[in-house]
């Protein structure tokens, strides 16, 4: 149990400070229309990020998961710059 908590802390620390994306930003990233992105988000059950935003926003790590990025790359801050492109 302690090992699992330690891994969760390490993972959350690595992902802290990463951006959240709106549907329009995701559409630009994937080069798809907003309606298509909305359907994909619904199919993959991606939760929204709580915050003061007018429109829904999504955590970049959930977007990477849909894109097929491995957990090892997501957890390594050295790869974040390349993944954000």
Average pLDDT of the chain to the nearest whole number: 84
Query: What are 46-75's pLDDT values in tens digits?
Result: 999 888 888 899 988 889 889 998 888 887
* pTM (predicted TM-score): 0.76
HSE at residue 27, side-chain half, CA atoms within 13 A, is 11
Instruction: Please tell me the total count of domains within the chain.
Output: 1
Q: Which residues pair with 22 in a beta bridge?
A: 57
CATH number for the domain spanning 49: value is 1.10.1660
- The answer to whether 19 and 84 have CB atoms below 8 angstroms apart is yes
Domain that holds residue 71: 2-83
CA 19/CA 15 separation, integer angstroms: 9
């Amino acid at each position: 149990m302690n090992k699992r908590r330690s891994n969760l802390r390490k993972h959350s620390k690595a992902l802290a400070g990463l951006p959240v994306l709106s549907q329009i930003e995701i559409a630009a990233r994937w080069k798809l229309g907003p309606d298509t992105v909305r359907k994909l988000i619904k199919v993959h059950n991606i939760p929204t990020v709580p915050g003061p935003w007018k429109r829904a926003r999504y955590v970049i790590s959930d977007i990477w998961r849909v894109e097929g990025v491995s957990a090892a790359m997501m957890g390594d801050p050295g790869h974040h710059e390349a993944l954000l492109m």
